[in-house]
């Protein structure tokens, strides 16, 4: 019994000692090492010691959260199981659930936390973000992304790309890879991965990226991180984090210059009087006189903030925090300054999908900032950060650990495809035959004025501009003109507009197939409105013509009744035209009754093979057909037509 008690006491002391060591490594920022120690000791803690189990599970979760370990949510659940009253666990659990894309569960945890702290800004934004996810997922930008496999390396992280100067043919980035396959790189106690080094890649004469090369003059045994190169490609700013005799000195920003091909000996730059203040993630502007950077310096807003400094006579002056519009109680990092002055950065404190999201910020006239989440496809529930833009095109690269089981960072390429608006169609006669001699005139409110002849098959094709209203007119000798309108205003995606023209002949009657009347009456049905409006449009498109509108019946019934019915039907059409603003002098109504049976053309024959081409559908012919065929023939005869009488109205 005494031996058992001694053994239990020895085990308990060993567990406590391990926890104490893990806590110390956590406090100095060695999250990977501390997380492994917490993991190994958790199962050895007695179940009844809930306080200790909650402590270990929570800090194990913190280590996993800070190193993007996918098991973070599980460890926070263990912490809550042993101490459900600790609201800090609830908040962190909500954040990792959001980062894991489990928005409904995250929302529940944020709500639970806000019951105790209703005004907590992090929880408020987290809950609001979860409520906006469905809307965001349905609002994609036009950018297209894909993994830039040429930059990435297996079982290592590659991130924070930056173009070397104005050239789009050279890029610099950070990576934990080792080019020496036989060398065993020592993993960092902070991340569990080897320290980052700086690499560059260039395109060859064929436009393909060559193999990555380590920039040896910038790399040491320590951790070299985020880089930024001036527009002339001659100066580089980068982050270096080093420790001396096991003591972490924090991160510093170094600068290096080159006059030829090699970078010179890097030197630290001074931004604060207190040299112990950590500074990192430099981003130089296009003119090289403003530096954005990240720091947890005093008088910030919590976590890591973005600051800026101005280069004055070779020294960095006017160092100041960008303020609480950009910075939050959480972390703002990885700034990038576009050539046009737009600031891009990553944050886990603004409304977002989870983890780090990418944001763009523009400064207003009153020196305030307007901030926009860059949305899908840039952002995901994972960490998305470290963006850079080409200086000449709307494309670039960014970093993300999305879709990677071990949360390795990878570089992705993005591009904003050119908006292409195409206008195409065909010009035919009213029987569907192409008019190879037709012309299409296109006039836009941006000054476009093009007259083009169609191809032999009657087709045409033209590229249009964005946000332009176009008016088009198709014409062909011996045919009436037809006008159409096309509008690219507000069209956010590339699109092909198809606009066909059907031109009516001047020399012969044209049947209007979609004019309908009530049975045995002259009242127009609602289904006739489309055809009637088309006739109104034809008259407006051709303001110098006059037409005759005629109505026809079949031979069934009394001749006098048929004549009267057809006249009244033609008058009904004329009344509609007049009511639509057509001058009375331009239209004439005639009722022919059954006097002018139709003559079958090729179109009629193709649709009804029992009717020969050129056959007049007289009573004598129709009565030779079957009962079903007779009804078809009579229906063809029951028609409304128009024909052009003059083409010189109001010209003289």
Residue 567 has pLDDT above 60, yes or no: yes
Does the pLDDT at position 248 exceed 70? no
**pLDDT on residue 377:** 96
Task: Give 188's strand partners.
Answer: none
Averaged pLDDT for residues 60-85:
91
Range of the domain at 193: 144-178+188-336+387-415
Domain count along the chain: 4
CATH number, residue 642:
3.30.1330.60
pLDDT band (50, 70, 90) for residue 457: very high
Q: Are 478 and 413 in contact (CB under 8 A)?
A: no
> What is the rounded CA–CA span in Å between residue 213 and residue 201?
6
Q: Summarize the confidence of residues 522-548 as an average pLDDT.
A: 92
Average pLDDT over residues 266-292: 94
Whether residue 161 sits in one domain with residue 290: yes
Residue 8 has pLDDT above 50, yes or no: no
pLDDT (tens digit per residue) in 157-209? 999 999 998 888 999 999 999 876 544 556 776 777 888 999 999 999 998 99
Name 392's bridge partners.
Answer: none
How does pLDDT run across 354-394, given as a tens digit for each residue?
999 999 999 988 888 999 999 999 999 999 999 999 988 89
* pLDDT above 60: residue 506: yes
pLDDT in tens, 601-616: 888 899 999 999 999 9
Are 630 and 566 in contact by the 8 Å Cβ rule? The answer is: no
Residues 174 and 314 grouped into a single domain:
yes
Q: What is the mean pLDDT of the chain?
A: 91
Q: What are the structure tokens assigned to 207, written together? A: 């436009």
pLDDT tens figures, 404-456: 888 899 999 999 999 999 999 999 998 889 999 999 999 999 999 999 999 99
Per residue in 118-128, pLDDT (tens digit) is 999 999 999 99
Q: Pick the more confident residue, 114 or 244.
A: 114
In a shared domain, residues 395 and 288 = yes
Instruction: Give the residue-averaged pLDDT of 274-293.
Output: 94
Distance of CA 99 to the CA centre of its chain: 21
Q: Please tell me the predicted confidence (pLDDT) of residue 249.
A: 65
In angstroms, rounded to a whole number, what is the distance separating the alpha carbons of residues 134 and 585?
60
- Around 290, how many Cα atoms within 13 Å sit in the side-chain half-sphere? 17
Tokens matching residue 334: 């990885």
Residue 652 lies in a domain: no
Per-residue pLDDT band for 243 (boundaries 50, 70, 90) equals: low
CATH number assigned to the domain comprising residue 43: 1.25.40.10
Using the 3D structure, point to which of 474, 503, 532 is the last residue of a domain: 503
Same-domain status, 467 and 548: no
Residue 438 contacts residue 475 (beta carbons within 8 Å): yes
**Residue 320 scores a pLDDT above 90:** yes
Q: Which residue has the higher pLDDT, 550 or 185?
A: 550
Six token digits for residue 468 = 């332009």
Q: What confidence score (pLDDT) does residue 84 get?
A: 87
**Exposure class string for 2-31: b at 16+ Cβ within 10 A, else e:** eeeeeeeeeeeeebeebbeebeebbeeebb
Task: Please check whether residues 498 and 526 belong to one and the same domain.
Answer: no
Last residue of a domain, one of 483, 503, 523: 503
Residue 7: what pLDDT? 38
Nearest to 126 by CA among 138, 139, 134, 114: 114
Give the per-residue pLDDT at 3. Answer: 37
Kindly state whether residue 97 falls inside one of the protein's structural domains.
yes
CATH of the domain at 442: 2.60.40.1120
Running DSSP on this structure, what letter comes out for residue 417? P
Question: Is there a single domain that holds both residue 211 and residue 307?
Answer: yes
Q: Is residue 133 part of a domain?
A: yes
Structure tokens at 532: 């009637």
Residue 116 placed within a domain: yes
Domain membership flag for residue 597: yes
Of 503, 519, 537, which residue constitutes the final position of a domain?
503
What CATH number did the domain enclosing 405 receive? 2.120.10
Cα separation, 149 vs 170, whole angstroms: 16
pLDDT of residue 406: 86
Residue 12 pLDDT level (bands cut at 50, 70, 90): low
List, as one string, the DSSP characters of 63-91.
HHHHTT-TTHHHHHHHHHHH-TT-HHHHH
Token digits of residue 557? 């019934």
How far from each other are the two terminal CA atoms of the chain, in whole angstroms? 127
Residues 272, 210: one domain? yes
Same domain, 207 and 280: yes
Q: How confident is the model at residue 514 (pLDDT cuts 50, 70, 90)?
A: confident
483 and 559 assigned to the same domain: no
Instruction: State the Cα–Cα distance between residues 174 and 594, nearest whole angstrom.
Output: 88
Do 79 and 170 have their domain in common?
A: no
Together in a domain, 444 and 398: no
E strands, 445-528, in order: 449-453, 459-464, 469-475, 482-487, 495-498, 501-503, 510-512
* Residue 354 forms part of a structural domain: no
Residue 264 counted as domain residue: yes
Q: Is the pLDDT of residue 286 over 80?
A: yes
* Tokens describing residue 13: 């002391």
* Whether the Cβ atoms of residue 57 and residue 82 lie closer than 8 Å to each other: yes
Question: What pTM was computed for the model?
Answer: 0.77
Please indicate, yes or no, whether residues 609 and 471 belong to a single structural domain of this protein. no
pLDDT at 2 over 50: no
Looking at residue 70, its pLDDT comes to 87
b/e burial code for range 397-416 (CB count within 10 A of at least 16 → b): bbbbbbeeeebbbbbbbbee
The answer as to whether 551 is a domain residue is yes
Which sign does the torsion angle of CA 325, 326, 327, 331 carry?
Answer: positive
pLDDT recorded at residue 187: 72
Q: Which residues contact 353 (CB under 8 A, 6 or more apart)?
A: 98, 129, 133, 136, 379, 380, 381
């Amino acid at each position: 019994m005494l031996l058992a008690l001694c053994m239990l006491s020895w085990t308990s002391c060993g567990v406590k000692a391990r926890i104490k060591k893990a806590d110390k490594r956590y406090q100095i920022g060695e999250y990977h090492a501390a997380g492994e120690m917490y993991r190994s000791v958790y199962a050895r803690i007695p179940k009844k010691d809930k306080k200790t189990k909650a402590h270990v599970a929570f800090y194990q979760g913190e280590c996993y959260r800070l190193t993007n370990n996918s098991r973070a949510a599980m460890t926070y659940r263990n912490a809550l199981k042993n101490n459900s009253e600790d609201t800090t666990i609830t908040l962190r659990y909500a954040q990792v659930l959001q980062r894991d894309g489990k928005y409904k569960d995250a929302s529940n945890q944020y709500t639970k936390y806000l019951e105790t702290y209703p005004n907590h800004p992090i929880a408020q934004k987290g809950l609001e973000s979860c409520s906006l996810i469905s809307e965001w997922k349905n609002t994609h930008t036009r950018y297209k992304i894909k993994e830039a496999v040429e930059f990435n390396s297996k079982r290592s992280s590659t991130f924070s790309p930056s173009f070397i100067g104005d050239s789009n043919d050279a890029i610099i980035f950070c990576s934990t890879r080792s080019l020496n396959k036989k060398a065993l790189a020592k993993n960092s106690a902070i991340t569990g991965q080897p320290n980052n080094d700086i690499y560059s890649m260039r395109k060859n004469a064929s436009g393909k990226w060559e193999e990555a090369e380590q920039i040896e003059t910038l790399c040491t045994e320590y951790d070299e991180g985020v880089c930024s190169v001036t527009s002339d490609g001659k100066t580089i700013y980068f982050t270096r984090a080093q420790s001396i005799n096991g003591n972490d000195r924090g991160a510093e920003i170094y600068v290096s210059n080159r006059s030829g091909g090699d970078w010179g000996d890097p030197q630290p730059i001074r931004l604060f009087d207190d040299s112990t203040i950590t500074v990192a993630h430099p981003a130089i502007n296009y003119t090289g006189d403003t530096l954005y950077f990240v720091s947890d310096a005093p008088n910030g807003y919590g976590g890591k903030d973005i600051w800026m400094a101005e280069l004055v006579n070779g020294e960095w002056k006017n160092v100041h925090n960008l303020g609480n519009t950009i910075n939050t109680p959480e972390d703002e990092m990885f700034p990038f300054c576009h050539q046009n002055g737009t600031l891009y950065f990553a944050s886990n404190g603004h409304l977002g999908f989870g983890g780090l999201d990418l944001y763009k910020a523009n400064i207003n006239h009153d020196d305030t900032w307007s901030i926009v989440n860059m949305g899908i496809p840039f952002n995901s529930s994972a960490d998305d950060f470290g963006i850079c833009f080409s200086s000449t095109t709307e494309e670039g690269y960014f970093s993300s650990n999305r879709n990677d089981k071990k949360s390795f960072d990878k570089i992705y390429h993005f591009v904003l495809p050119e908006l292409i608006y195409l206008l195409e169609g065909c010009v035919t006669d009213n029987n569907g035959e192409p008019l190879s001699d037709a012309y299409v005139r296109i006039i836009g409110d941006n000054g476009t004025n093009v007259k083009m002849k169609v191809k032999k098959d009657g087709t045409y094709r033209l590229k249009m501009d964005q946000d332009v209203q176009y008016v088009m007119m198709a014409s062909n000798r011996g045919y009436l003109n037809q006008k159409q309108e096309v509008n690219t205003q507000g069209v956010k995606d590339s699109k092909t507009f198809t606009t066909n023209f059907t031109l009516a002949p001047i020399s012969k009657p044209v049947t209007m197939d979609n004019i309908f009347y009530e049975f045995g009456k002259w009242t127009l049905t609602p289904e006739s409105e489309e055809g009637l409006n088309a006739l109104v449009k034809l008259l407006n498109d051709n303001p110098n013509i006059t037409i005759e509108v005629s109505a026809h019946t079949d031979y069934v019934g009394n001749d006098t009744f048929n004549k009267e019915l057809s006249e009244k039907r033609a008058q009904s059409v004329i009344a509609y035209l007049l009511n639509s603003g057509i001058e009375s002098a331009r239209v004439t109504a005639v009722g022919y009754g059954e006097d002018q049976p139709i003559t079958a053309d090729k179109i009629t024959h193709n649709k009804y093979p029992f009717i020969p081409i050129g056959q007049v559908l007289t009573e004598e012919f129709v009565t030779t057909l079957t009962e079903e065929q007779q009804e078809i023939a009579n229906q063809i005869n029951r028609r409304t037509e128009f024909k052009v009488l003059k083409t010189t109205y109001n010209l003289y």
